[in-house]
Amino acid sequence: MKKINDIYNVDLTELTHSFQDACADKDFKKFVYDLNIKEEILMKYTSILEEAYEEYKNCANCKGLSTCKNSEKGYRLNPVDGGNIINFSYDACSKYQKEISDNKYKENLDLFEMNEEIKNASFKNVYKDDKLRLPIIKQFKDFIDNYNNDVKPKGIYLHGSFGSGKTYLIASLFNELAKKGIRSALVYYPEFLRTLKASFQSDYDEKFNYIKKIPLLLFDDIGAENCSNWSRDEVLGPILQYRMENNIPTFFTSNLTIDELEKSLSTTSSGVDKLKARRIIERIKQLTVQEELISKNRRN
Ligand code: ADP
Ligand code: MG
């Protein structure tokens, strides 16, 4: 049977050999000696130091975050002197840190049942080939210029064909404003109604009040919902009323013109109520300027 000491000696010899083998690579050697850690400690960590060295080299030859070869994208395995041991930490690289801070403004955008991708919509990517977009973009510029006035500018009721880019356009405006620190909610209206309804027993009031008061609101695809008395008179009506009274900018996208929306809002499973629909439309008219965007379908 081997004595403990023998085992230790064998292991120590092995450790020394594998460390020396690794140090045959001059750059690896320089990398580990530059850590200013005693050799007898370094030796115990050869394989993980090799990993750290690989990551260090990847960073030195970095061509951008998208092609990061490290085991955790945007992070680097770093050896840190811990006295008699070496600690290894995963640290975010400077490019990744910059990406995080560049994207910080996105926290100002709150999505309800919308695809996360929409947070990347930006003015600079809005198609300029289509002249129909130009008056809308001009309105956006005015909106931004006048946002800090005492009386806030009106929102937009943007209607038009399916896939023409209505949602994208409004999202690009909200993104620009998010960069200026303004909070907004982009709400896919038909689905929002379903989740709101499902939250009766839980955070209904919280959700409702949040949407009512958010500084910028988009009700996306209004008119595509199954309109009920509840959604029209208990949700849409009071939210719009509050926003109108308090002059809080509100946007809509819809496949329906405002007259078609009026018709759609007047009929629920409980019957026809033209007056209630008319009241909603009056509020939308107070809150917005109407714009049309008919264009080719941009959806793949
Ligand atoms: P709509 O709301 O009118 O139905 P969307 O805004 O959803 O249309 O746009 C349809 C598709 O085209 C989406 O996938 C959207 O991401 C894309 N899209 C629209 N406008 C642009 C744009 N300016 N740049 C890049 N993609 C766009
Ligand atoms: Mg849309």
pTM of the model: 0.78
What are the start-end ranges of the E strands in the chain? 75-81, 86-92, 109-112, 155-160, 184-188, 216-220, 250-254, 267-268, 271-272, 288-293
Beta bridge partners of 159: 254, 292
Please indicate, yes or no, whether residues 166 and 283 belong to a single structural domain of this protein. yes
**What is the phi-psi region of residue 181: left when phi exceeds 0, alpha when psi lies from -120 to 50, beta otherwise?**
left
Instruction: Quote the pLDDT of residue 183.
Output: 97
Please indicate, yes or no, whether residues 90 and 62 belong to a single structural domain of this protein. yes
Please indicate, yes or no, whether residues 42 and 182 belong to a single structural domain of this protein. no
Number of domains in the chain: 2
C-alpha of residue 118 to centroid of ligand 1, in Å: 9
Domain boundary residue, one of 55, 80, 98: 98
Please indicate, yes or no, whether residues 238 and 192 belong to a single structural domain of this protein. yes
Please indicate, yes or no, whether residues 264 and 128 belong to a single structural domain of this protein. yes
Q: Is the dihedral of CA 279, 284, 286, 287 positive or negative?
A: positive
Phi, psi of 278 (to 5 degrees): -60, -40
User: Which residues, judged by CB distance below 6 Å to any ligand atom, belong to the binding site of ligand 1?
Assistant: 125-127, 162-168, 253, 298-299
Residues 6+ apart with CB under 8 A from 215: 182, 183, 184, 248, 249
Q: Is residue 48 assigned to a domain? A: yes
Domain boundary residue, one of 69, 98, 127: 98
Phi, psi of 276 (to 5 degrees): -65, -40
Q: Is residue 269 assigned to a domain? A: yes
| Tokens 């996360």 belong to residue | 116
Residue 137 domain boundaries: 105-293
Q: Is residue 119 assigned to a domain? A: yes
User: What does the pLDDT profile of the chain (300 residues) look like in tens digits?
Assistant: 444 344 445 577 888 999 999 999 999 999 999 999 999 999 999 999 999 999 999 999 999 999 999 999 999 999 999 999 999 999 999 999 998 888 999 999 999 999 999 999 988 887 677 777 888 988 999 999 999 988 999 999 999 999 999 999 999 999 999 999 999 999 999 999 999 999 998 999 999 999 999 999 999 999 999 889 999 999 999 999 999 999 999 999 999 999 999 999 998 888 888 999 999 999 999 999 999 987 777 776
C-alpha of residue 172 to centroid of ligand 2, in Å: 13
3-state class percentages of the chain: helix first, strand second, coil last, to nearest 5:
55, 15, 30
**What is the phi-psi region of residue 103: left when phi exceeds 0, alpha when psi lies from -120 to 50, beta otherwise?**
alpha
Instruction: Quote the pLDDT of residue 1.
Output: 42
* Alpha carbon distance 263, 115 (integer Å): 29
Atom of ligand 1 nearest to the CA of 161: 3
CATH number of residue 275's parent domain: 3.40.50.300
Q: How many Cβ atoms sit within 10 Å of the Cβ of residue 184?
A: 23
Q: Is residue 300 assigned to a domain? A: no
Q: Is residue 219 assigned to a domain? A: yes
- The residue length of the chain stands at 300
Please indicate, yes or no, whether residues 122 and 209 belong to a single structural domain of this protein. yes
The helix-helix angle for 204-213 and 189-198 (nearest 10°) equals 150
Ligand nearest to the CA of 165: 1
Ligand nearest to the CA of 161: 1
Atom of ligand 1 nearest to the CA of 172: 23
Ligand nearest to the CA of 221: 2
Instruction: Quote the pLDDT of residue 9.
Output: 55
Atom of ligand 1 nearest to the CA of 221: 2
Please indicate, yes or no, whether residues 76 and 178 belong to a single structural domain of this protein. no
Cβ atoms 90, 78 nearer than 8 A: yes
